[in-house]
């Protein structure tokens, strides 16, 4: 019997800011492709987002591949493009079985089935085991026993039993179809001659942040993969695919200190020459102040720390479980250890005023991260804070739920006010950073920040969105010109 084909396609969505720094691996699709291959299918991944193609090219790819299944996933802002993919598949061949997963469909299946008739099955929650079982079961025509599905039967939505989350040991042993990715597509623009990979060290988060989409998806649980399995992934990416920069994609890799430190020790021992980018929480940086030298020695060069708020009252509203003074201390510690720091501030809550935005900008300057993003609150329709924000929502186009475009109208400001405030915060913060960067004695960090700044200032997306950040000072223009290829390579080779 001829092997059936499944084609995974990423939605061709572009928010702009994230893509200024690099082209990112669709890690979830590497996992799902591995699961589909385990089920005995012929598998392809078409990363339309990274390739910069649109729906015309996606249509051509589906016609070329002639798949039995087309699968995609969606967060809120990518949902319109994800639905367009499955609609294209059905237009080409109504017999193609379409699958949709991801955070938004997991919680919003009624909305999905109302918006389109082209989604056959929604995979809810953690998808690997569900997909494998589904692909085997559908051959018999009965998928009702497969946990974690939603589908329509007549006018009714059928929801099968909820699938339990996998154990940490099961996560360690999940197959990943790394070989199906076009690795030349994945680069971290800040590091010369880089190839960018990704691993998840854990899944989930135990915190209660009210605006977050992750905590609900992972049911407020956390499972950490073993350091041994992580090292195996790192070595595979390095030796087989030439990866020298790796993003840790999970929200909370550092929760268990003993496990985390063992992973750092293993990286130091192997000395693979890989840079790591990651996210973690303020309290873990403070907890780990005695081992921060290990972070840097292991190759961790860039850490995002969520601060998100103007003052303690807003942090409390978000249930962020962090103190302003602790956040300042954590960012200072990372800077002292030569680690690039990044954080964000959320603007546009219902009680926002011009005065509160001034305080936000001032606090961002006091935090003094290397990078700060000023984000418009996005009311995910499944987040805990949604009902509080719902009366103020003025935009229903999900494509704009991207943390850049204002969605809600505050009581005392217009949405245009918020848009202008975001632009102004970016401009003031980064123009204030330029001379500080020039005083940095760490040449690797200086070059890293200057290349990043140049990418931001020349990004067509940012220029179109927020205009010219300001004229780059002449001394910086000269320094940028002096960053020869040899200097860049030398910087990239020293961890």
Output the average pLDDT for the chain. 88
Give backbone dihedrals phi and psi of 46, rounded to 5 degrees, phi first: -120, 100
**HEC sequence for 382-426:** CCCCHHHHHHHECCCCHHHCCCCCCCECCCCCCHHHHHHHHHHHH
Does 3.30.1330.20 match the CATH number of domain 187-437? no
Whether pLDDT at 454 is above 70:
yes
Least confident piece of the model among 180-184, 220-224, 378-382, 447-451: 220-224
Pick the CATH number of 5-159 from 3.40.50.11390, 3.40.50.280, 3.40.50.720, 1.20.1330.10: 3.40.50.280
Instruction: Please classify residue 123 by burial: count the beta carbons closer than 10 Å to its beta carbon, then call 0-12 exposed, 13-18 middle and 19+ buried.
Output: buried
Q: Are 284 and 329 in contact (CB under 8 A)?
A: no
Q: What is the pLDDT of residues 176-186, one digit of tens each?
A: 999 999 999 99
Q: What is the pLDDT of residues 104-147, one digit of tens each?
A: 999 999 999 999 999 999 999 999 999 999 999 998 889 999 99
**Sequence-distant (≥ 6) Cβ neighbours of residue 344 within 8 angstroms:** 304, 306, 307, 308, 372, 373, 374, 375
Domain ranges of the chain: 5-159, 187-437
Q: Are 424 and 468 in contact (CB under 8 A)?
A: no
Q: At 465, is the pLDDT very low, low, confident or very high (cuts 50, 70, 90)?
A: low
pLDDT at residue number 204: 84
Q: Which residue has the higher pLDDT, 116 or 435?
A: 116
Q: Are 367 and 201 in contact (CB under 8 A)?
A: no
Nearest CA to 160 out of 182, 189, 130 is that of: 130
Which sign does the torsion angle of CA 235, 337, 361, 253 carry?
Answer: positive
Locus of tokens 């998928």: 143
Whether pLDDT at 170 is above 70:
yes
């Amino acid at each position: 019997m001829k092997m059936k084909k499944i084609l995974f396609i990423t939605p061709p969505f572009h928010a702009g800011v994230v893509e200024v720094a690099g082209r990112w691996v669709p890690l979830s699709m590497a996992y799902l492709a591995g699961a589909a291959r385990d089920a005995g299918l012929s598998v392809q991944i078409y990363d339309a987002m990274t390739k910069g193609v649109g729906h015309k090219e996606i249509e051509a790819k589906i016609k070329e591949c002639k798949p039995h299944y087309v699968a995609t996933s969606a967060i809120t802002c990518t949902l319109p493009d994800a639905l367009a993919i499955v609609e294209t598949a059905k237009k080409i061949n109504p017999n193609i079985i379409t699958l949709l997963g991801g955070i938004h469909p997991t919680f919003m299946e009624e909305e999905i089935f109302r918006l389109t008739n082209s989604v056959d099955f929604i995979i809810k929650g953690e998808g690997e085991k569900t997909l494998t079982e589904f692909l085997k079961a559908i051959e018999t025509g009965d998928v009702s026993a497969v946990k974690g599905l939603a589908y329509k039967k007549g006018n009714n939505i059928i929801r099968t039993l909820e699938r339990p989350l996998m154990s940490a040991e099961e996560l360690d042993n999940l197959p990943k179809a790394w070989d199906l990715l076009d690795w030349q597509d994945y680069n971290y623009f800040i590091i010369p001659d880089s190839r960018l990979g990704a691993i998840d060290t854990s899944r989930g988060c135990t915190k209660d942040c009210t605006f977050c989409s992750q905590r609900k998806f992972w049911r407020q649980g956390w499972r950490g993969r073993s350091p041994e399995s992580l090292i195996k992934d790192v070595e595979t990416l390095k030796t087989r695919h030439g990866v020298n920069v790796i993003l840790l994609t999970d929200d909370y890799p550092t929760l268990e200190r003993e496990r985390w430190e063992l992973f750092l020790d293993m990286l130091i021992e192997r000395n693979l020459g890989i840079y790591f980018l990651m996210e973690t929480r303020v309290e873990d940086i403070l907890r780990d102040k005695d081992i921060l030298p290990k972070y840097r020695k292991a190759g961790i060069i860039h850490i995002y720390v969520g601060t998100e708020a103007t003052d303690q009252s807003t942090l409390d509203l978000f249930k962020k479980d962090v103190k302003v003074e602790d956040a300042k201390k954590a960012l200072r510690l990372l800077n002292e250890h030569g680690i690039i720091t990044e954080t964000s501030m959320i603007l546009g809550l219902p009680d926002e005023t011009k005065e509160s935005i001034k305080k936000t900008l001032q606090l961002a300057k006091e935090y003094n991260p290397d990078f700060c993003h000023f984000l418009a609150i996005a009311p995910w329709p499944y987040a805990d804070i949604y009902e509080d924000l719902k009366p103020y929502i003025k935009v229903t186009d999900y494509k704009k739920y991207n943390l850049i475009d204002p969605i809600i109208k505050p009581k005392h400001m217009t949405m245009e006010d918020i848009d202008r405030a975001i632009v102004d915060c970016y401009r003031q913060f980064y123009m204030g950073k330029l001379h500080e960067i020039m005083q940095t004695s760490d040449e690797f960090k200086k070059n890293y920040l200057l290349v990043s700044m140049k990418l931001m200032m020349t990004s067509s997306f940012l220029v179109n969105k927020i205009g010219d950040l300001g004229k780059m000072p002449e001394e910086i223009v000269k320094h940028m010109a002096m960053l020869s290829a040899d200097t860049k390579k030398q910087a990239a080779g020293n961890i």
